Structure 1
């Protein structure tokens, strides 16, 4: 459990570094020397049937090699007292056999790509990186960090390297403020349903590239968003160890957490029949990629005696009905109104009314809606949920402003018999806060025992 005192907390420091990251560069070499792996080490490539590693035919080369990089982007984990830092480096693609640069892929220059590495700064309420070594280019940022007593030097020197000690800071501030979580779960659950549908439909679609461009990008380990996407596999022989991590989740009196929701394609197959309008053939494993083809139709599936309907069905079914045009109830428009973006809802409702809708326009509207919804959810978490999760995980306590008695899974299910629990959740502790339920439960995590830097 962390001591709470009047020093700046690590959480507040991270917020300052995030706000002023453009004026700070980080000594990545020293970070790697201090770094302890928190997961299982993976290497690029796949294994053949004999277990031998087959490496990709392309690899990356740093464009600007050196010890320093721009200060990374920090994110609090949504379910644990963990803070990760995402570091970006500019790289180019080269052929593995002879280091020949790969200049052009799918009509795009491939000599200025981004490679991302995640570094865990705090893991499950314990500091994983003892210090950050930085240079500061802005005197006002230097003065701010000095006023917080994390830089000890008196004189600003843009050539100087400053060491910010992390392991002597309290993790959370004494008077931390939390947003109100009442009603947030239903909003997040509804948005997750819509983003799952959009993700399933857009899986092989692009609002920028045609299909053969997407395929060529894939062959060169690039996603349709131009992110590097090399296959990876576990490195072995490797010493694997395990530890218990406490996961903090939240839901409401109907659904324990977002993990209880079905994926879009799962729910499509559960509650609907997707069939060929001409032949009547019913697809046994339907996907949203099929749904918008001209010869494909969707209808509700008869509920079998074996099917047990749940509160998850109650939440997801109206959204699917509206999206598919089976029962137009305005749910999609209601959810997208949060973004002040009506284009996708208008196109869907026009399509359901039998009007011609351009496929490219629909893909573009879906892509925009997905991006905006994802950003909206991230903002909700970072402002209202993740700080609370971090506080609980770091201190082992509920925030002072939250008053709730702890309950076991047995006690909670007696009160709300429809709630569903996983094996891990059955071992948890639960707190009812207004119409929300906060869960804290153990999970086993595995990691490479050797202390190695992330490559």
Structure 2
């Protein structure tokens, strides 16, 4: 390691901070790019396996060698860094490429797509180098000071090759903040977010039902995201593995949990928990609604009560965490937990409306939908900040080094040993083969999981895309 050499994570942070001053040679990036996931193609297969393609396609509007530097994201439970590169696209008919200009009274001829490129995959460099141009002398001088650039003088027309594969991933002596209490905070946010998402599944605070139907016909979500149906490029996974289309690898997963709940994946969806613990019924007839969902809660003639549980029903720590939040949100018990979460994340409008709704006051449905939509965004942003600031850097360090940070002294445990010490923990098949560490009031899990990826794909791009909101 040379005197001025920096760590890859530090370089990524510089890229993120000055991304508006850097453009990337996208052709170079695609030339040797190796896909890290399974390639998916647009369309659905019929009973005979024939691919039926969507009647619309997308076309790039910026067919150029250079694109803006992408946004960087650290994976939440692997040592993986992704770069989302923004591209402009338009919708067109599959048959004759006729552009689709308008849908449901909204212009859709200028959308943005984000193609996902994996820079680091499970602690291994996946993109060896980036070819870039730099428009700011300040950024040029900073990268030169860090030993990243060879050029002597700033020239905005000059293309620079930035090597990534010769940089160490992380600093050995980095300091990581305490994770005490973070799991319970994230769990409460996830439960409340799930409840709100279930309410909003078919609702929009902007469009009417007829517009939503029109969006669906054009593969657009209610948030104006493209939502093409996709399927695997192969029809039989065993054949794909045998002929080399697919290969498998071991991915190391790192999860944060508590001494009662191993990780957030143990929490069921809001509607699933609703079915387990509650009954929705008609207030006039008393008729029980089979398979209730939060979408039905908007009906004024329906009410909620606790489900009468049989003696065989085992109440778990997950139930104990989720039930007070559900009870408070539904107005079955006033414990203040929902109001506390909403005010903490800045979702004051919903915090003010819920007590009135629970008291039976008439509130305009549109007002509730708007408040729910705002609260959902606030909750997701709050959780994302926790991950980016405190959890993802720790996960990346562990996944890339195979070690806990020096300040986290903990003895490794097997699943059997952890189960004896913490009997409420539940383990999946993969987790049963893992290693566990008690750090403060938290449990850090490290376990292997087999994943598949498409091979022999040069110039490909990971098939994960989202479209910016036009609203």
| Alpha-carbon distance between aligned partners in 1 of 2:407 and 2:219, rounded to the nearest angstrom | 48
| Alpha-carbon distance between aligned partners in 1 of 2:158 and 2:220, rounded to the nearest angstrom | 38
On the 8 A contact 1:114/1:228 being kept in 2, the answer is no
**Residue in structure 2 matched with residue 257 of structure 1 by the alignment:** 263
Query: Which of residues 131, 136, 139 in structure 2 aligns to 1:138?
Result: 136
Structure-2 change in CA distance of 1:69 and 1:100 (3 Å): same
On the 8 A contact 1:6/1:173 being kept in 2, the answer is no
Alpha-carbon offset, residue 193 of structure 1: 0.1
For each residue in 1:18-56, what CA deviation from the matched residue of structure 2 results, as whole angstroms up to 9, or x when unmatched?
A: 111111111111111121011111111111111111111
Q: TM-score, normalised by structure 2?
A: 0.94
216-225 vs 391-400, which moves further: 216-225
| Alpha-carbon distance between aligned partners in 2 of 1:397 and 1:365, rounded to the nearest angstrom | 44
Alpha-carbon offset, residue 286 of structure 1: 1.1
2:448 is equivalent to residue 450 of structure 1: no
Alpha-carbon offset, residue 81 of structure 1: 0.4
2:404 is equivalent to residue 418 of structure 1: no
Structure-2 change in CA distance of 1:143 and 1:198 (3 Å): same
Alignment of 1:317-332 (within 5 A): 317-332=323-338
Query: Which of residues 304, 311, 327 in structure 2 aligns to 1:305?
Result: 311
Alpha-carbon offset, residue 292 of structure 1: 2.2
On the 8 A contact 2:347/2:374 being kept in 1, the answer is no
On the 8 A contact 2:5/2:148 being kept in 1, the answer is no
| Alpha-carbon distance between aligned partners in 2 of 1:164 and 1:90, rounded to the nearest angstrom | 25
Structure-2 change in CA distance of 1:100 and 1:68 (3 Å): same
Query: Which ranges of structure 1 fall in alignment gaps of 5 or more residues?
Result: none
On the 8 A contact 1:4/1:174 being kept in 2, the answer is no
RMSD: 1.4
On the 8 A contact 2:4/2:145 being kept in 1, the answer is no
Alpha-carbon offset, residue 416 of structure 1: 1.1
2:285 is equivalent to residue 279 of structure 1: yes
**Residue in structure 1 matched with residue 27 of structure 2 by the alignment:** 29
On the 8 A contact 1:72/1:87 being kept in 2, the answer is yes
| Alpha-carbon distance between aligned partners in 1 of 2:442 and 2:407, rounded to the nearest angstrom | 15
Alignment of 1:145-160 (within 5 A): 145-160=143-158
Structure-2 change in CA distance of 1:350 and 1:152 (3 Å): same
For each residue in 1:144-184, what CA deviation from the matched residue of structure 2 results, as whole angstroms up to 9, or x when unmatched?
A: 11111111111111111111100000001233232221111
On the 8 A contact 2:4/2:147 being kept in 1, the answer is no
**Residue in structure 2 matched with residue 72 of structure 1 by the alignment:** 70
2:230 is equivalent to residue 224 of structure 1: no
| Alpha-carbon distance between aligned partners in 1 of 2:143 and 2:378, rounded to the nearest angstrom | 33
**Residue in structure 2 matched with residue 344 of structure 1 by the alignment:** 350
| Alpha-carbon distance between aligned partners in 2 of 1:137 and 1:40, rounded to the nearest angstrom | 36
Query: Which ranges of structure 2 fall in alignment gaps of 5 or more residues?
Result: 464-471
Alpha-carbon offset, residue 307 of structure 1: 1.3
| Alpha-carbon distance between aligned partners in 1 of 2:3 and 2:383, rounded to the nearest angstrom | 32
2:399 is equivalent to residue 393 of structure 1: yes
Alpha-carbon offset, residue 5 of structure 1: 9.1
| Alpha-carbon distance between aligned partners in 2 of 1:211 and 1:300, rounded to the nearest angstrom | 32
User: What is the number of residues matched between the two proteins?
Assistant: 453
| Alpha-carbon distance between aligned partners in 2 of 1:364 and 1:385, rounded to the nearest angstrom | 31
On the 8 A contact 1:4/1:170 being kept in 2, the answer is no
For each residue in 1:220-274, what CA deviation from the matched residue of structure 2 results, as whole angstroms up to 9, or x when unmatched?
A: 1111111111111111275221111110001111111101111100100000001
Structure-2 change in CA distance of 1:339 and 1:318 (3 Å): same
| Alpha-carbon distance between aligned partners in 1 of 2:160 and 2:227, rounded to the nearest angstrom | 34
| Alpha-carbon distance between aligned partners in 2 of 1:77 and 1:283, rounded to the nearest angstrom | 40
2:401 is equivalent to residue 403 of structure 1: no
On the 8 A contact 1:274/1:286 being kept in 2, the answer is yes
Does the residue aligned with 2:413 lie in a helix, a strand or coil? strand
Structure-2 change in CA distance of 1:256 and 1:6 (3 Å): farther
Q: TM-score, normalised by structure 1?
A: 0.97
